[in-house]
Structure 1
Amino acid sequence: MAQGNEQDNNQAVGKLIVQTMEDVMRDSMIPYSESVILDRALPRVEDGLKPVQRRILYTMHQLGITPDKPYRKSARIVGDCLGKLHPHGDSSIYQAMVRMAQPFNMGAPLVDGHGNFGSVDGDGAAAMRYTEARLTPLALELLRDIDKNTVKWSWNFDDTILEPDILPGRFPNLLVNGATGIAVGLATNIPPHNLMESIDGVIAYIDNPRITLKEIMKIVKGPDFPTGGVIIPTELAHAYETGKGKVAIRAKLHIENDNDKKIIVIDEIPYGVNKSQLLESIIKVREDKKGVLSGITDVVDESDRVGMRAVIKIKRDSDPKEIINALFKYTNLATNFSFNMVAIADGKPQLMGLLDIIAYYVNYQREVVLRRTKYELDAARKREHILEGLVIAVRNIDEVIKIIKASPNTTAAKEALRKRFELSEVQAQAVLDMRLARLTHLEIFKLEKELADVRSEIARLEAIIASKKLQMELVKTELLGIRKQYRENRKSAIVQSVEQYVIPSDDEKPTFEYVVAANANKQLKKMLVKNFTMATKDFTDTSTLNEICNCIVRAKSTDRVFCFTNLGNCYKIDVEAIPDGKWREKGADLKKIVADAVDGEYPVYMRLVEEKLPKGNILFYTKLGMVKKSPWSEYGVVKSAFAATKLRDGDCVIAMEDEAEGASLMIVTKYGMCLNADMSDVPAQNRIATGVRCMSLGEGDECVLIKQVNGDGEIALCTDRGFAKRILVSQIDVMGRYRKGIKIIDFAKGKTDNGKCIAYAAIVTVPFKVVLNVDDEYLTAYSTENFTIENRTHGGKPLLKGRHSVAAGYAYNDKLING
């Protein structure tokens, strides 16, 4: 200790500052703890993200790595995030990004990883220089409206750029993906939940802010772990009330016959359990514990990238259920998940129950909607101001032109216009910037219509700002839209007690998970999910039409599926009635499966028959340009075979889809015509109605594409000579239905022969492969990224070298789709 005044703990000795250890610890530990708690380890209740996760997602958003764009190197993303927002080391950023891409850790992955991002066996991800990533569609919902002044911003670590304090978080991410983290003196452990249940819980709270925990637990039934398993809610109610508690998780197993022996099959494991270590522990416990576990002869991991399947082989005279009970006792086939629901709320860490989390989230979403509405109102008022000036100008266009021609320069013209018509500077500049093409009668009508629309929008926005009830309704409506778009069934089953956990016995008829598919040869087949390799295989030169499937449904062996056909019929088909087949094998004609079907009838659209019919409307599109809209409630027919729609002579159904709110109908015909039809006047009709005309077709023409669009994406086209291109959907203006439309491709005459008709057309929002049938001899695949973006009348660029003909094109699905 330096000499001097003993009452002064801080003493300057030359250039040294001397302090006691107590002062150093007190002055340094508190800021360090605050930094770790608030800026690193704990999530915010509003968006459910830790700072590093938020910065990664914002960095990817800024780089434009959205789901419709190609993957980018992970190292590029990490580098941008490190240099601009998160200077805490590249490994911490990459590890956080890897976790957000792992479907076995996240209830809803926010990063779409391409490459080795680790496995449930504990394998680490490949180095960031080898992997690629982009945002998932659901991650965009966390970022939606971030550019509309919805959140607060702060300067980054070196005060050079702004970063968001939180994201808009348009779905309850803290519940959906949960969180885990250790801070200084604090920790958090929040389990993931089902997206649909979480949104339903938020909506129930909006409808009744006084809802009780017991009532909301009927909606949010419990955690939903991405690895599945069976939950026994030992202290679930206490955990949701206080933020602390635990639930028991057991692996999901079943018993199978293997020749004259029994085998135990592990289908799902508890959340957070390393599968390879679990299987090793089963072998080890067999050697250590002896007794009933000595009946285990071998443990084999038969899992693949489609599903989990680990087989425990046992002796012929052993009781499989006794072995299972012993394994639950001695291995991680049974674990506990301890709740510790701590998150940052009101600027400090808080232990919160389920209702507290939902209440904070709902209030935050109302604030987001209010801030966005104010931003949109300001933009609408600015646009109204400009339109008022333009309307004045076009109504007095002769005088405006005279003033401009008489003015020596632009500044003088602007001042003369302002003085004559009492315009603001912004309005006068807009008049000077106006193109001559806007002086036609149609453009003048459009200006006046746009002004009326803007004023209507301003009135709507002002009403929202003035009404808390309307703000809450808007939050509710947008949440329901996300729920509808990202439907996902619960993965973890919940039983109320250990006694209710029942292993399917060997004498019960086992239930299998199947993939039911209709291929390009118009045949039906099914295969076990564990044998379904479509999600991991790619198109090869040896692929056949048997492997190209546009209708794919995942169903259990006890389920039934709706099968809508080209002839307008609907058949309810038992999954068991569909013949098994390998992915490369042919299927069976519909006539062989359904006795009521006729020769040449084939599936167009399939969907699982559920206890409750879907809400909303279903749309039917036909070759001759008809569209029919019917409520799903029309199809609650008891009969197994019935007419789904009425068709005119020579017509057939080419596609079906659920109605999307606010969409228009993009129609492309065989001979290169296109119409973006307004759907507002398409009436809802009964099941046996014919529908209404959506396009006026020329002689011999027919529709090759009919699909709803919302202004995004592109139209991909390929001609019968292999010439291809993409056209931006936004370039095709919305028009009234039942018109001839406009030309979407120019079939050249005399110069390059690019074909006589369109062989394939599709709407592209996310890149995919298109398989072309060339010369009716072989198949070849191209990414839609190979289709160059051109203007509407361009003839396209050749995909094929030499002179070839394209018989047909098919979208090549490379992922399992739930119908």
Structure 2
Amino acid sequence: MVRMAQDWSLRYPLVDGQGNYGSIDGDPPAAMRYTEARLKKIAEEMLSDINKDTVDFQNNFDDSLQEPTVLPTRIPNLLVNGASGIAVGMATNMAPHNLSEVIDGTIAFIDNRDIEVSELMQHIKGPDFPTGALIYGYAGVQDACNTGRGRIVMRAKAEIEATKSGREQIIVTEIPYQVNKANMIERTAELVNEKKLEGISAIRDESDRTGMRIVYDIKRDANANVVLNNLFKYTALQTSFSVNNIALVKGRPMLLNLKDMIHEFVEHRHEVIVRRTRYELAEAEKRAHILEGYLIALDHLDEVIKLIRNSDTPEDARLGLMEKFGLSDLQARAILDMTLRRLTGLERDKIKEEYAELMKTIDYLKSILEDEGLRMKIIKDELIEIKEKYGDERRSQIVHSAEDMRMEDFIDDEEIVITISHNSYVKRTPLSEYKRQGRGGRGSIGTNTREEDFTEHIITASAHNYMLLFTEAGRCFWLRAFEIPEGSRTSRGRALQNIINVPKEEKIKAFILVKNLKDQDYLENNFIIMCTKKGTIKKTSLEAYSRPRANGINAININEGDQLIEACLTTGSSEIVMALRSGRAIRFNESTVRPMGRTATGVRGITLAAESDEVIGMISVNDSETTVLVVSEKGYGKRTDIEDYRVTNRGGKGVKTINVTDKTGELVAIKGVTDNEDLMIINKSGIVIRIAVEELRVMGRATQGVRLINLKDNDEIASITKVDREEESEEESELTEESTENGDSTSEENTDSNEE
């Protein structure tokens, strides 16, 4: 009885308990002398019509009482509250479900007896546990509904919150079904003390009468998402419920799927309706028979009174009435039991009205017994009434796991900025956090890096993009952009090795953003072009990189002393521009590079000007409106028309693309840009500036360029990227004007030099 009163044990408690009935922490209930109990209203629905011969009765254990063999329940209790038990050689373990969903599914079954289990599951989504929590993955639910057996994974409902001090906390508000909260917290603390769980500084149970709240304080240098995943892996925050739907059907144990259980409930209700109707019909006919006797007596009132007055005993009167008026024994006894007030004219009219109504009821009850469709309608109407009285919202949210549904179905496809540091720390930040400034401004703090670290790559992407990451050693790894932990603009980020299996000794040097790795036509008509520091270039079909592997794959064979530095996604008909640190660049058609296999080395793309020279970047150009943007290490840059670079054969020395001086420093980046884009620049100290490309006027190839960012002493450009132009709000315009006024003004220095 105690369990029937616990709202964390039964989805719909059947007993209303007063006093101590235990707790979810495993506290024992008080002795029975200290508690009181009464049936809940929903429990009374399970006993409805039990006095109308709706179910069979049998003797109890000592033959002192009669007890029902089964209850004439109006609610499918086996489905909504579940059951668990062990017998000889078999056991049962049924999950609880939501009453509203079960009733909807039952009505759908009544309307269509040939309904498939999959169609029923459109109404009954899956189990609905008393403690709420999450059902993680749908495969186990489908197995349980289709076969009667399945393993359902349950996860605690947890959120990651930031405190005012900037620390992160994991807040758990719902735990899996049948988990002892106190034991779970105690076991978690043991794992933390044993160093099997890292990143947790404190655990507190802040639960009260308003609800559950378990707080895990996260250490400053720990990733809250990683800690949460470890909690799911090593503690009862994630557990499973093994469904085994064994039930007695006509006295025989059977394994039932979802449709079978609903079928048996409907058959049970059908039998109850039939037996109840027969009982009510018998009672109605009995009453009608008595009323017929009353009407006969009232029609012969004087004779009846005279016969009764002249009789010596009630028995003589009964026999006299039966003989003279043809009444039955039941009618004669009822007449003798009548009070004098029933002999008035008003009472006579009431008896006639009651008899007329009773005859209508008898006709209706007979029609129920004759029409199965009407009986099914009654079952449906009663179920709808139950739903209106006791139906509620689902507590357990179903979260589809990676095997069931794509993660991007749960994540907004927002524009983000991804930064990767020299020491392989990565983070993503909403693009909206980076406001546009004027050219020559000082920028804003982009990343707080340690002294020995600096931002090496800055990438703009969509959260749903696939990222192909290429290491300097020529290996390729896959990552979805949304899998990168989100951080603030100034946060350090997380170690890339904690996200993908890239070796610590290898650094990410290039990356490609791909929208779809499953569209075969897209894969076959796009290519990846890679180049190395020593000027080698290689072209491979994108299809060769469409099957992600946890440990990565070889993307290009790198010669000793060389390393991969850039990769581009092309359509096969682009033009390629490669740039050297010495300030030279070459332009050639992509068609001059034949496609090769993944493990090939490649061919010569550009010849280095000197032993100390190296390739710093490569772009692919498809649009004549694209201009070539080059940036030097000391913050100078410029745009040049693509047509200023003549098309040559690959392997040449190229032409001058910027006039490299002590003032500008060597070339560090090259990008293809248009007027409707913005440029984001980040220096090694973590400062970021975002400027409009159209602010940079187009210049000749051999010019020095203009200052893009005002660098402090000993600071250098780390990386640049381009982003699509956004609508500029008034607030952003004011910020732009202010930053331009505060920044150092610079003149456009166009020092020409002879083209080589």
Structure 2 partner of 1:282: 188
Q: Which amino acid aligns with 1:303?
A: S
Give 2:170's aligned residue. Answer: 264
Output the aligned Cα RMSD.
2.1
Residue of structure 1 equivalent to 2:158: 253
CA distance in 1, matches of 2:201, 2:349: 82
Provide, for residues 692-739 of structure 1, a one-character-per-residue CA deviation record: whole Å limited to 9, x for no partner. xxxxxxxxxxxxxxxxxxxxxxxxxxxxxxxxxxxxxxxxxxxxxxxx
Say which of 146, 159, 180 aligns to 1:241.
146
Deviation at 1:182?
Answer: 1.6
Residue 147 of structure 1 is matched in structure 2 by 51
**Aligned letter for 1:352?**
L
Deviations along 1:300-331, whole A, 9 cap, x unmatched? 11112331111122234433222211111111
Question: Deviation of residue 345 (structure 1)?
Answer: 1.1
Tell me the equivalent position of 1:223: 127
The residue number in structure 1 matching 2:60 is: 156
Change (3 A) 1:154 1:271: same
Alignment of 1:197 onto 2:101:
yes
Q: Please, which of 338, 349, 366 is the counterpart of residue 434 of structure 1? A: 338
1:573-594 per-position Cα deviation (integer Å, ceiling 9, x unaligned): xxxxxxxxxxxxxxxxxxxxxx
Structure 2: how far apart are the matches of 1:459 and 1:411?
35
Q: Deviations over 1:398-428 (max 9, x none)?
A: 3322322232222222222223322111111
Residue in 1 aligned with 2:374?
470
Q: What's 2:7 paired with?
A: 103
> What is the TM-score with the length of structure 2 in the denominator?
0.52
Partner of 1:543: none
Aligned-pair CA distance for 1:256: 2.9
SS at match of 1:263: strand
Greater alpha carbon shift after TM alignment, 496-505 vs 326-335: 496-505
Shift of 1:484: 1.0
C-alpha distance in 2 between matches for 1:386 and 1:364: 33
The whole-number CA distance in structure 2 between the counterparts of 1:442 and 1:493 is: 63
Tell me the distance in 1 between the aligned counterparts of 2:406 and 2:392.
Answer: 25
1:322 aligns to what? 226
- 2:247 corresponds, among 343, 355, 361, to 343
Measured after TM superposition, the shift of residue 458 of structure 1 is 0.6
Q: 1:170 maps to which residue?
A: 74
Q: Deviations over 1:51-84 (max 9, x none)?
A: xxxxxxxxxxxxxxxxxxxxxxxxxxxxxxxxxx
- State the distance in 2 between where 1:130 and 1:367 align: 41
Q: 1 CA distance for matches of 2:327 and 2:170?
A: 82
Give the distance between the partners of 2:406 and 2:194, measured in 1 at CA.
30
Equivalent residues in 2 for 1:519-668, closer than 5 Å: none
1:158 Cα deviation (Å)?
Answer: 2.5
CA contact under 8 A between 1:190 and 1:339: conserved in structure 2?
Answer: yes
SS at match of 1:142: coil
Contact conserved, 1:287 with 1:294, CA < 8 A, in 2? Answer: no
- 5 Å matches for 1:653-802? none
Q: Give distance in 2, aligned partners of 1:263 and 1:502.
A: 25
Equivalent-residue separation in structure 1 for 2:344 and 2:204 (angstroms): 76
Tell me the distance in 2 between the aligned counterparts of 1:277 and 1:240: 31
Is the 1:255–1:504 contact (alpha carbons within 8 Å) kept by the matching residues of 2? Answer: no
Partners of 1:442 and 1:310 in 2: how far apart? Answer: 72
Counterpart code for 2:144: A
Per the TM alignment, residue 285 of structure 1 is displaced from its structure 2 partner at its CA by 1.9
- Whether contact under 8 Å (1:254, 1:503) holds in the other structure is no
CA contact (8 A) 1:150 1:372 kept: yes
Aligned mates of 2:406, 2:12 — CA distance in 1: 29
Displacement of 1:500 in angstroms is 7.2
Q: Deviations over 1:663-691 (max 9, x none)?
A: xxxxxxxxxxxxxxxxxxxxxxxxxxxxx
CA contact (8 A) 1:189 1:338 kept: yes
How far apart are residue 297 of structure 1 and its match?
A: 1.9
State yes or no: 1:132 paired with 2:27. Answer: no
Give me the whole-angstrom Cα distance separating, in 2, the residues matched to 1:344 and 1:375: 27
Contact 1:495 1:501 in 2 (8 A): no
Deviation at 1:186, TM superposition (A): 0.9
Cα distance in structure 1, aligned partners of 2:296 and 2:217: 85
CA contact (8 A) 1:240 1:354 kept: yes
Corresponding position: 1:421 with 2:325? yes
Which amino acid in the other structure matches residue 126 of structure 2?
G
Mapped to 2, the partners of 1:479 and 1:127 lie a distance apart of 37
Map of 2:397 onto structure 1? 493
Matched, 1:310 2:214: yes
SS of the aligned residue for 2:287 comes to helix
The whole-number CA distance in structure 1 between the counterparts of 2:82 and 2:128 is 10
CA distance in 2: counterparts of 1:500 and 1:396, whole angstroms: 85
Residue of structure 1 equivalent to 2:602: none
> Residues 245 and 504 of structure 1: is their aligned pair in 2 closer, same or farther, counting only changes over 3 Å?
closer
Deviation per CA, 1:189-234, whole angstroms, max 9, x where unpaired? 1100011111111111111100001100000100000000111223
Q: After superposition, where does 1:25-104 map in structure 2 within 5 Å? A: 97-104=1-8
Provide, for residues 325-362 of structure 1, a one-character-per-residue CA deviation record: whole Å limited to 9, x for no partner: 11111111111111111111121211111111111111
2:363 is matched with 459
Range with bigger deviation, 398-407 or 132-141: 398-407
- Whichever residue aligns with residue 90 of structure 2, its letter is L
Q: Which amino acid aligns with 1:155?
A: N
Partner of 1:180: 84
3-state DSSP class of the match of 1:349? strand
| 1:484 partnered with 2:351 | no
TM-superposed deviation, 1:298: 1.6
**Which structure's CA Rg is the greater one?**
2
The 1-side partners of 2:408 and 2:10 are apart by 27
In 1, the alpha carbon distance for the partners of 2:407 and 2:34 equals 43
Deviations 1:621-649 (A, max 9, x none): xxxxxxxxxxxxxxxxxxxxxxxxxxxxx
Quick one: distance in 2 between partners of 1:126 and 1:504? 46
Give yes or no for the alignment of 1:300 onto 2:204: yes
Report the alpha carbon displacement of residue 163 of structure 1 after superposing the two structures with TM: 1.5
User: SS in structure 1 opposite 2:194?
Assistant: helix
Distance 1:306 1:375 in 2: 48
Query: How many angstroms apart in 1 are the aligned matches of 2:377 and 2:399?
Result: 35
Quote the Cα distance in structure 2 between the aligned partners of 1:183 and 1:410.
60
| Local SS of the residue matching 2:20 | coil
Task: Report the 3-state secondary structure (helix = DSSP H, G, I; strand = E; otherwise coil) of the residue aligned with 2:173.
Answer: strand
Tell me the distance in 1 between the aligned counterparts of 2:250 and 2:313: 57
Matched residue type, 1:196: S
Quickly say closer, same or farther: Cα 1:184–1:408, change in 2 above 3 A: closer
Provide the residue aligned with 1:212 in structure 2: 116
| CA distance in structure 2 between the partners assigned to 1:304 and 1:439 by the alignment | 67
Distance (whole Å) between structure 2 residues aligned to residue 234 and residue 207 of structure 1: 27
Partners of 2:381 and 2:391 lie apart in 1 by 15
- TM-score normalised by length of structure 1: 0.48
Q: Distance in 2 between matches of 1:316 and 1:416?
A: 102
Gaps of 5+ in 1: 1-96, 509-819
8 A contact 1:341–1:352 mirrored in 2: yes
Structure 1 counterpart SS, 2:45: helix
Tell me which amino acid in the other structure corresponds to 1:269.
I
The CA distance in 2 between the partners of 1:246 and 1:285, in whole Å, is 26
Question: C-alpha separation between the residues in 2 aligned to 1:281 and 1:416?
Answer: 87
